[in-house]
Amino acid sequence: MGDFRRTVGGMAAAATLVAALSAAALPARADDAPKPPNPDSVNRVLPHAPYPVSARARALHATIPVADLHADPLLWNRDLLKRNDIGHIDIPRLREGGFALQDFSVVSKSPRSANYVKTDANDGDVMADRARAEHWPRKTWNSVLQRALYGADKLKGIEKRSHGQLRIVRTKGDLRRALHDHVIAGVLLSEGAHPLEGKLSNIKVMYDGGFRVLGLQHFFDNELGGSLHGESHGGLTPFGKAVIPQAEKQGLIIDVAHSSEAVVFDTLAIAKRPIIVSHTGIKGYCNTPRNVSDAALKAVADHGGLIGVGYWDAAVCEPTMKNVTEAIVYAVKLLGPEHVALGSDFDGGVPMPFDASEMAGLTSSLLDAGLDEKTVKMVMGENAIRFFSTYLPAK
């Protein structure tokens, strides 16, 4: 989430999104005062001419099961069953873009001054504010775990109302059937493991709630260790070191997006299975506080993992099709084609160069940049499909 546009220090932009999220919680205004702007408006698609799609690219794109490791449409009160002219994702645009799989991120806590450089974990929580103001079930008001489960239930509601267009996958078999039936496979991802509320027993509660990807940190240091944007930049705590093996045993995939580099290396030292970085930029291509060093991402790849390249400006320095393409080409050269995937952060509260319906434009741009068809198919979806087909639980 919320890798909102920022300059180094980024406080201002953080305030914009936190304000947007908080505004979403404002009670309806009785009088005829001007309505506050729709908080969803932070999810802009930057104005652009239609991206060119060569005939070769269109033909290739039609054969790709497009897959994305991280998006936050569940954060907003948008009807994802209809084609919206706001935001980056909904079911119709996922179908137009050729998506076979989308990770749906659930955000359960966000300090008011969340920023990329140094976030105080104890500076309130706009998600708790929203739970109250938007009248979420009372049990969500004081529980990060219950807010995470509420987010998962939101996707289950969309699944039910989608008349089979979207199917939440929990096992290899679910994914195989979704691919066979050409429906969109949705994977539930928790952005940070703070919903565990410091208890190992909550790993099974999250799993039973439908989550299959467990991010360890978000914008702030938590019980498991340091965030990339926290105050300590520390490694895994003893609790964090106990979570990794138990989460793997339970069948959860570990995600170290937003984790401190010390946590990344500590996790790689313990994890028995490959891990992912669901949405990130690469410091060697774009040196911002949001991005992770080439060495850390290379270590994740050498451990068999998958890195999702993002599209927003702190990830690629300028949110353009050109920069997204260059960042992916850089990642392929650095990490190897089998370790690179898409990690858009669509609807993460950031302006984007394109939306989910325009993925053929990225396929075309990657071909124009000189990647061969096999590599383009791998990056655009096959790597992620292979990864989830391998590491989702058998049953």
Q: How far is the CB of 348 from Zn ion (least distance, A)?
A: 6
Report the nearest approach of Zn ion to the CB of residue 3 (Å).
5
Contact flag: residue 106 with Zn ion (CB under 5 A): no
State the CB neighbour count (10 A cutoff) for residue 116: 25
Shorter beta-carbon distance to Zn ion: residue 1 or 256: 1
Q: How far apart are CA 128 and CA 136, in angstroms?
A: 10
Q: What type of residue is 207? A: Y
Min. distance of Cβ 278 from Zn ion in angstroms? 8
Site string for Zn ion, 176-195 (x = CB under 5 A): --------------------
- Tell me how many helices (H) and strands (E) the chain has: 15, 9
Nearer to Zn ion, 17 or 332 (CB): 17
Give CA torsion, residues 351, 99, 148, 12, to 10 deg.
-10
The smaller minimum CB distance to Zn ion, of residues 1 and 301, is found at 1
Among 224, 158, 207, 214, which residue's Cα sits nearest to residue 189? 214
In one-letter notation, the amino acid at residue 189 is L
- Which CB, 1 or 20, lies closer to Zn ion? 1
In the complex, minimum distance from the CB of residue 290 to Zn ion, in angstroms, rounded to a whole number: 9
Degrees, nearest 5: CA angle 219-339-59: 110
Determine, following the binding rule CB under 5 A, whether residue 1 of this chain makes contact with Zn ion: yes
Tell the smallest beta-carbon distance from residue 229 to Zn ion (Å).
10
When the beta carbons of 1 and 14 are compared against Zn ion, the nearer one is 1
Burial class of residue 286, CB neighbours in 10 A (0-12, 13-18, 19+): buried
Q: What are phi and psi of 346, to 5 degrees?
A: -50, 140
Residues in the chain: 395
Residue 64 or 297 having the CB closest to Zn ion: 297
In this complex, which beta carbon is closest to Zn ion, that of residue 1 or of residue 341? 1
Q: Which residue's CB is nearer to Zn ion, number 5 or number 377?
A: 5
- Measured at CB, which residue is nearest to Zn ion? 1
Rounded least distance, CB 114 to Zn ion, Å:
10
Counting Cα atoms < 13 Å in the Cβ hemisphere of 88 gives: 33
Sign of CA dihedral 260, 265, 266, 271: positive
Nearer CB in complex with Zn ion: 1/224: 1
Q: How far is the CB of 49 from Zn ion (least distance, A)?
A: 29
User: CB 47 → Zn ion: shortest distance, Å?
Assistant: 25
Instruction: Give the interface segment with Zn ion, choosing from 1-9, 33-41, 124-132, 172-180 (CB under 5 A).
Output: 1-9
Residue type, 216: L
Query: Which alpha helices (DSSP H) does the chain contain, by range?
Result: 11-23, 55-61, 91-96, 126-133, 144-161, 172-180, 202-208, 238-250, 261-270, 294-302, 313-316, 321-335, 359-368, 373-377, 383-391
CA pair distance 322, 319, nearest whole angstrom: 8
57 forms part of the interface with Zn ion (CB under 5 A) = no
Kindly state the smallest distance separating residue 340's Cβ from Zn ion, in Å: 18
Q: Give the DSSP letter string of 101-170.
A: EEEEEE-----TT--SS---TTS--HHHHHHHHTT--GGGTT-HHHHHHHHHHHHHHHHHHTTTSEEE--
Output the smallest distance, CB 180 to Zn ion, in A.
31
Chain centroid, CA 61 distance in Å: 22
Smaller CB distance to Zn ion: residue 178 or 296? 296
**Site size for Zn ion, by CB under 5 A?**
1
Residues 24-53 close enough to bind Zn ion by CB under 5 A: none
Residue 106 to residue 195: CA distance in whole angstroms:
10
**Identity of the residue, 1 or 244, whose beta carbon is nearer to Zn ion in the bound complex:** 1
Least distance from C-beta 171 to Zn ion, angstroms? 26
Binding site for Zn ion (CB under 5 A): 1
